[in-house]
A and B are shown apart, each in its own frame.
Chain A
């Protein structure tokens, strides 16, 4: 194990050294900031295509492909100007993310990067992209420490920024006692479960009567389900990854808990379907759903169905919006160099845009959406009023 780790570290170090060396030597047109739009613009997607959360990277790739098809067919960036997507698989590993990012950054044909979807990976590479001066748009990666400099951008709003409607809805239903079951080793859920939700409940006069942290490796929830059933809170906020939530829902039912359960967008994309009837009535906020009826969301949903013959999910929407953001940035700055794209991304962020996720605004380089609440019922999402 030590030798494998050492080898990976050496490879990552070599890749960094190569990248820094190439940058020091000057670089090609994309890095020069000379202005103008190249005939072919290469965007690197450095995200998980395999590994435990491959669904996020693969989903983003499909969304990005749809966006590229539209951009190229419309001649959005000018006649004959095309965008190409180059894939780099981070395979769910932080060290692999670092080395793949270095490879992509070292390639002077790469104008911008779609950065890793996992927060730990994204936070690791965020300082590198500033050093190498490559505009990097992250999708997902909702934790702190990702959007930290002028070269880092995020197209997916962090979960806590659209979680308020969950608490509003519970308040409207008269819920007072709230339990939280959360994966404390998942940065986004730890932040939400330990800081954001307690603050939101306090604002609304609700009480957190239980706060049950679990690990990423927790697979059986019988004990926690029993504790929750014994406490019988008005509502349970469940912040778990996809397989954990399927098990927890079944075991909560088995333990006799029949209160309201609220979850997160991780349960979207059909990730909860294996829970069957146990998932009926589950409500969670999402930045995008096929049930959304804003014009730009509907257009994306229909286009995606037509291209892929399946239902789009929030990860598809991430990739789609991120790629269109980059295209708009190039058009706005009239410059497909790395510096030109960075300037364009900032400009578009100031203006906002309508995308798959509806109206997208920004706080700095970080996307914000209102999001919607959806209820899972018999294998489908429907909007909660």
Chain B
């Protein structure tokens, strides 16, 4: 059971990171490769602030969320939106957005690497994690917060996208952006807001993961980016519920490999499993066939 709980915590870590990326990719069609850098840089700003003054966890999380939202909104405003404006169609802009995201990600990464010399960085906080024992199972308070946040936000986003009018508009953009714009949906405004929310989620993930892991490195976001990419494809693009499921499946597979002490096979087995699932269901576990992205 302890292994299941560890896998649930790991899955929630992946989920928190993947949620923002899944939201923008599955709705406004932007595969944001700067998401990892936003995640890392939000935590890095938190680190810089707490080097000067020790802060409570909530304040650090708030700073990271604000930085993440601002970074992501600026990315949309200064990079992705101009690319979309110049492109003949969303489809034509996709490759340019992807490359643009990689280019933007390089800037905060270079800054953080330069400032830290790529050494790990964390927070000076008044918060310190406690270990709780529930029915003989051990979990830290940070782990518990991550599980609750991951599941809560994942389920909340799923419900919101399905039941709210804005959620419907966002899903419509994901299916056919040109027609949706023609039907009166303010696509640039929605895209801006969605990117800001996704950035906020990246900031939240950055802060909580830094608390959970003790420290992260400037490159940590890049490593998580690949896993998030796989999770979204596995779950099915456009399906937040699929992202939730994909995160826990990947974490479960990794935990199983580690439990068997095949540590160096983690990526090979986990991504091999995803590949096999996608052979059977190319649209992902909960994805719809008609929603197609590169």
- Physical interaction between A and B: yes
Q: Are B119 and A51 in contact (CB under 8 A)?
A: no
Measured between beta carbons, the chain A residues less than 8 angstroms from B220 are 219, 243
Q: Are A247 and B261 in contact (CB under 8 A)?
A: no
Q: Are B6 and A243 in contact (CB under 8 A)?
A: no
Binds B, one of A52-60, A127-135, A342-350: A52-60
**CB-CB nearest in chain A for B124:** A276
Measured between beta carbons, the chain B residues less than 8 angstroms from A52 are 113, 118, 217-219
Binds A, one of B192-200, B237-245, B263-271: B263-271
Q: Are B255 and A55 in contact (CB under 8 A)?
A: no
Q: Are A254 and B214 in contact (CB under 8 A)?
A: no
Residues of B within 8 A of A (CB): 2-3, 6-7, 9-10, 13, 110, 113-114, 117-122, 129, 131, 138, 140, 143, 212-220, 223-224, 255, 258-259, 261, 263-264, 266-267
Measured between beta carbons, the chain B residues less than 8 angstroms from A226 are 2-3, 6, 138
Q: Are B223 and A223 in contact (CB under 8 A)?
A: no
Complexed CA–CA distance, A183 and B129 (Å): 26
Complexed CA–CA distance, A242 and B218 (Å): 12
Given contacts A54-B113, A218-B266, A224-B258, whether A243 and B3 have CB atoms under 8 Å apart is no
Q: Does A236 contact B (CB under 8 A)?
A: no
Q: Are B10 and A243 in contact (CB under 8 A)?
A: no
Q: Does A250 contact B (CB under 8 A)?
A: yes
Given contacts A53-B118, A256-B138, A278-B214, whether A215 and B263 have CB atoms under 8 Å apart is yes
Measured between beta carbons, the chain A residues less than 8 angstroms from B223 are 217, 219
Measured between beta carbons, the chain A residues less than 8 angstroms from B10 are 220, 222-223
B41 → chain A closest CB, angstroms: 16
Complexed CA–CA distance, A271 and B138 (Å): 28
Q: 14 additional contacts, CB 8 Å, given A58-B117, A214-B266, A222-B10?
A: A50-B110, A52-B118, A54-B117, A54-B118, A184-B263, A212-B263, A215-B263, A217-B223, A222-B9, A223-B258, A255-B138, A271-B119, A274-B120, A274-B122
Q: Are A270 and B213 in contact (CB under 8 A)?
A: no
**CB-CB nearest in chain B for A92:** B118
Given contacts A246-B215, A247-B215, whether A215 and B266 have CB atoms under 8 Å apart is yes
A168 → chain B closest CB, angstroms: 28
**CB-CB nearest in chain B for A216:** B223
Q: Does A249 contact B (CB under 8 A)?
A: yes
Size bracket, chain A contacts: 35 or more
> A242: which of B9, B113, B217 is its contact (CB, 8 Å)?
B217
Q: Are A254 and B138 in contact (CB under 8 A)?
A: yes
Q: Are B215 and A50 in contact (CB under 8 A)?
A: no
Measured between beta carbons, the chain A residues less than 8 angstroms from B259 are 223, 227
Q: Which residues between 195 and 244 of chain A lie within 8 Å of chain B, taking CB atoms?
A: 211-215, 217-220, 222-224, 226-227, 242-243
Complexed CA–CA distance, A250 and B2 (Å): 17
A299 → chain B closest CB, angstroms: 25
Q: Are B120 and A215 in contact (CB under 8 A)?
A: no
> A243: which of B2, B120, B143 is its contact (CB, 8 Å)?
B120
What are 21 sample pairs from A and B whose C-beta atoms fall under 8 A apart? A50-B110, A54-B118, A55-B117, A55-B118, A55-B119, A184-B264, A215-B263, A215-B267, A223-B3, A223-B10, A223-B258, A224-B258, A226-B3, A226-B6, A227-B259, A242-B120, A246-B214, A250-B213, A256-B131, A274-B122, A278-B214
> A271: which of B3, B113, B120, B266 is its contact (CB, 8 Å)?
B120
Given contacts A51-B118, A220-B10, A256-B138, whether A212 and B261 have CB atoms under 8 Å apart is yes
Measured between beta carbons, the chain A residues less than 8 angstroms from B219 are 52
Measured between beta carbons, the chain B residues less than 8 angstroms from A256 are 131, 138
Max chain A Cβ within 10 angstroms of own Cβ: one of B10, B117, B121, B223: B117
**CB-CB nearest in chain B for A275:** B214
**CB-CB nearest in chain A for B218:** A52
**CB-CB nearest in chain A for B9:** A222
**CB-CB nearest in chain A for B251:** A220
Q: Does A185 contact B (CB under 8 A)?
A: yes
Max chain B Cβ within 10 angstroms of own Cβ: one of A58, A215, A275: A215
Complexed CA–CA distance, A255 and B117 (Å): 30
Complexed CA–CA distance, A54 and B113 (Å): 8
Complexed CA–CA distance, A218 and B121 (Å): 17
